[in-house]
Amino acid sequence: MNLQTEEEKKNIQEHFDDLLKNCTRCNTEEDKALILKAFNLANEAHKGVRRKSGEPYIIHPISVAKIVTQEIGLGAKSIACALLHDVVEDTDYTVEDMERIFGPKIASIIDGLTKISGVFDANSSLQAENFRKMLLTIAEDIRVILIKLADRLHNMRTLDSLQPNKQMKIAGETIYLYAPLAHRLGLYAIKTELEDLSLKYRFPQVFGEIQTRVADSEKMRMQLIDHFSLPIIKKLDENNIDYEITGRPKSIYSVWKKIQSKNVTFEDIYDLLAIRIIFKPLPHIPEKTQCWHIYSLVTDIYKPKPDRIRDWVSTPKANGYEALHCTVMGPNGQWVEVQIRTQRMDDIAERGFAAHWKYKDVDTANQENELDKWIKRIREMLDNPQSDALEFLDEFKLNLFSSEIVVFTPKGDTKTLPKGATSLDLAYEIHSEIGNKAIGAKVNHKLVPLSHILNSGDQVEIITATTQKPSWESLNYVITAKAKLAIKATLKAETKNRIEKGRNLVEKKLAELGITPSSRVFKKILPAYDCLSKDELYSKIGSNLISLDDLKKILKKNTKSKWIKYWGLQLSINPLRKKEIEEDEEEEEDDLLANQKIDVKAPYLLRETQDEDAPSYIVAKCCNPIPGDEVIGFITPEENVIIHKATCVEAIRLMSQHGDRIVSAKWTTHKVLSFLARIEVRGMDRIGILSELVKVISDELRVNIRKLHIDSHDGIFDSTIDLYVHNITDLNNLGMNVMKIKGIDSVKRVEKFDD
């Protein structure tokens, strides 16, 4: 055991003293005594244990406790739980010990933290189940989630000591689940830091470049903001408003994301400046009224952009966020966003759910009710025994970052839904039985189909019929997790009933023929009825799609299973359908796959050769990487390696859900193969520009064009060109040369396309 040195003991005590000194909600001696008791137990339990960085392990729980109190604003019980959060997981102490020493509430929170502490590295379904467990604790005590987010934040802040593959995996999980969860709970500051840290470890070079450029441009940005703010400051002072104005800095992640999604340069990001006006409201005057008063003062100076007003003071976001946003034309011809908030609104925007407790005397029931509604929806998703773990994970992620709309029922009640929700989504939001029986809707008194997309402010009446049932097609009409899970649960229940009915009929018929069911029997029956599994056979029989009248004749035939094998996969003679068979053939397949295993620890080289013995790979259609792109490999259950761009959204999801199947990959430099790429070119539609474009690509750069499509309208042309390149350098050179053509406005690479 590596005992602590005197210097380390002194350092630990200094960290703990700083925790106590800056505890925001530790008001009594009883609170401090509880925290000291928790620290002493944790310090003793973790004595001699060190983190990967080499520092004493106890520094980690102290740091988590600091985040819990100083950055989230939780109280003494939460601080004690943060100090103890790894004790049951990593030492001989039990949950029962915690209850005996600290009482049932702290024991319950520590139990929740222990249940969700397993790292996401066993397999995809276990990972999803771990996340389900984490969300189940929301129903018990939301402090479990808040402490878990603090734990993840400190782990991200200290990720340097881990190996690069571990860093990539943890960063992928963070951007996929933890940052959106922090956003949904209103923890803006934590969400922003998690995003930036995730980017730092996923793309360190890009992170460093943007960080440097942000720092370099800070002085100019502040000069522009100061110039813009001076008339506003004068106006606010004249009206005796107690306020502060700050320039809202863009996070490194938000800059990177906009560069990626909008295909703009770094300089273009700063076309939209932003300031925040935070004021102390006067008593006895509604905060909303005072926000609109400041808005009128600002728009007396600068002309507003009407379609860019965001009123979240009248209708707060589901995570409790309140503010009034507007965009105005600044003195230098630049659009500037102005955010107007009270001090209370700003605290809630930065620190989320926990900040509500600071303002318990203020009427914040509306915000808390919205959060309660969201938690209720999560509990409904979790309570559904039919839901598949991975399905649930994807549906949950889908609904975390959704923008919201507010619609009205015929009685005037409001319902909050994600942007893009349909009439059928609303039906299921009201009640699952309403959704199951829905046949149409009236939106603003006009009849519309269930697929109709709703807008904020719509008044919606759902029309039902007792004979209506959901179909698989209904899934195309909904986007909310609640609706999808309800539809799937109903359909699965019906399928289960059909399968049970079919099984009984088959067993009865075989009994009449004096035959005992066995795998050998079904190997004859399944091909005869064009079925790939027993469940498919039972379902068709239960639905009266198959008759068993000729079963005796089928069993008398010496039928052989019509399957072929190809590289470890089993394919039926119908090339569109494939399925594993049972027992002996499954064992044979396992043997084949065992001979094709790839060492997941070794970098996977993407060789641009025509050697048939070289390991094969598949280029992902979602991002179409080419040599030179930063890539990762994903090993499928069939042992194929699918290559994704490291920035691909699907790749990030796979890193989070299937960390054990991710391999590092890199291109070699042999120029033998060509890769299909697509670019979009936009420019002025002048005479001869198309021939110049083709000449530059084909003649000067010697790039083969596979397909060219062009549209011209109002003097502007848009073209899509599919061409073969060797690597990213070819594509970049091509882009630079095409941009030199007179009249060309933009050249952009298209990542997602089908060839």
Q: Assign residue 693 the CATH number of its domain.
A: 3.30.70.260
Quick one: 88 and 164 in the same domain? yes
Quote the pLDDT of residue 124: 42
Quick one: 609 and 643 in the same domain? yes
Q: Do residues 183 and 403 lie in contact, with contact meaning Cβ atoms separated by under 8 Å?
A: no
Closest by CA position to 657, among listed 116, 123, 117? 123
The answer as to whether 380 is a domain residue is: no
pLDDT digits (tens, 9 = 90+) for 262-299: 667 776 665 557 899 999 999 889 999 999 999 999 99
Tokens representing 291 are 């926000």
pLDDT digits (tens, 9 = 90+) for 4-14: 788 888 989 99
Instruction: Tell me which residue range forms the domain holding 709.
Output: 675-750
pLDDT digits (tens, 9 = 90+) for 692-723: 888 888 776 677 888 888 888 767 788 999 88
Quick one: 196 and 316 in the same domain? no
- Among the residue ranges 86-100, 138-152, 543-557, 668-682, the one predicted with the least confidence is 668-682
Quote the pLDDT of residue 401: 53
Quote the pLDDT of residue 605: 52
The answer as to whether 524 is a domain residue is: no
Quick one: 649 and 682 in the same domain? no
Q: Do residues 747 and 680 lie in contact, with contact meaning Cβ atoms separated by under 8 Å?
A: yes
The answer as to whether 56 is a domain residue is: yes
pLDDT digits (tens, 9 = 90+) for 540-556: 888 777 888 888 888 77
The CATH number of whichever domain residue 262 belongs to comes to 3.30.460.10
In angstroms, what CA-CA distances link 265 with 259, 270, 271, 623, 647?
6, 10, 11, 21, 17
More reliable by pLDDT, 83 or 224: 83
Quote the pLDDT of residue 396: 60
How many Å apart are CA 419 and CA 406, to the nearest integer? 9
Quick one: 223 and 324 in the same domain? yes
Closest by CA position to 567, among listed 608, 530, 612, 533? 612
The answer as to whether 11 is a domain residue is: yes
Q: Judge whether residue 593 has pLDDT over 50.
A: no
Residue 578, sorted as left (phi over 0), alpha (psi -120 to 50) or beta, turns out to be: beta
Quick one: 192 and 323 in the same domain? no
Report which residue type is found at 549: D
pLDDT digits (tens, 9 = 90+) for 623-663: 888 887 888 888 887 777 888 888 888 888 887 777 677 87
Quote the pLDDT of residue 278: 95
Average pLDDT value for the chain: 78
Q: What is the pTM of this model?
A: 0.59
Q: Do residues 58 and 2 lie in contact, with contact meaning Cβ atoms separated by under 8 Å?
A: no
**Residue 464 DSSP SS3:** strand
Q: Judge whether residue 563 has pLDDT over 60.
A: no
Q: What is the DSSP letter of 123?
A: -
In angstroms, what CA-CA distances link 156 with 82, 142, 150, 168, 193?
16, 21, 10, 11, 9
Q: Judge whether residue 591 has pLDDT over 60.
A: no
Catalytic positions are 89-90
Q: Judge whether residue 744 has pLDDT over 50.
A: yes
Q: Do residues 421 and 460 lie in contact, with contact meaning Cβ atoms separated by under 8 Å?
A: no
* Domain end marker among 177, 205, 233: 205
How many Å apart are CA 477 and CA 479, to the nearest integer? 7
**Residue 288 DSSP SS3:** helix
* Domain end marker among 205, 234, 249: 205
**Residue 566 DSSP SS3:** strand
Closest by CA position to 525, among listed 540, 565, 512? 540
Confidence of residue 569 (pLDDT cuts 50, 70, 90): very low
Quote the pLDDT of residue 376: 62
Quote the pLDDT of residue 425: 93
Confidence of residue 173 (pLDDT cuts 50, 70, 90): confident
Quick one: 155 and 20 in the same domain? yes
Quick one: 659 and 712 in the same domain? no
Q: What is the DSSP letter of 162?
A: S
Indicate the number of domains in the chain: 4
The answer as to whether 495 is a domain residue is: no
Confidence of residue 559 (pLDDT cuts 50, 70, 90): very low
Quick one: 101 and 20 in the same domain? yes
The answer as to whether 727 is a domain residue is: yes
Q: Judge whether residue 105 has pLDDT over 60.
A: yes
* Domain end marker among 205, 232, 251: 205
Q: Percentage of residues in the chain with pLDDT exceeding 90?
A: 20
Confidence of residue 2 (pLDDT cuts 50, 70, 90): low
Q: What are phi and psi of 626, to 5 degrees?
A: -130, 160
Q: Percentage of residues in the chain with pLDDT exceeding 70?
A: 78
Residues 206-215: contacts with CB within 8 Å, 24+ apart? 206/256, 207/252, 207/256, 210/252, 210/255, 210/256, 210/266, 211/252, 213/266, 214/249, 214/250, 214/252, 214/255
Q: Judge whether residue 233 has pLDDT over 70.
A: yes
Quote the pLDDT of residue 602: 40
Quote the pLDDT of residue 573: 29
pLDDT digits (tens, 9 = 90+) for 32-46: 999 999 999 999 999
pLDDT digits (tens, 9 = 90+) for 299-320: 999 998 887 888 989 888 766 7
The answer as to whether 158 is a domain residue is: yes
The answer as to whether 232 is a domain residue is: yes
Quick one: 744 and 612 in the same domain? no
Quote the pLDDT of residue 129: 57
Quick one: 131 and 174 in the same domain? yes
Quote the pLDDT of residue 610: 40
Calculate mean pLDDT across residues 120-139: 50
In angstroms, what CA-CA distances link 335 with 299, 332, 693?
13, 9, 35
Quote the pLDDT of residue 499: 87
The CATH number of whichever domain residue 162 belongs to comes to 1.10.3210.10
Confidence of residue 613 (pLDDT cuts 50, 70, 90): very low
Quick one: 158 and 274 in the same domain? no
Quote the pLDDT of residue 142: 75
Q: Judge whether residue 397 has pLDDT over 70.
A: no
Quote the pLDDT of residue 416: 80
How many Å apart are CA 8 and CA 737, to the nearest integer? 60
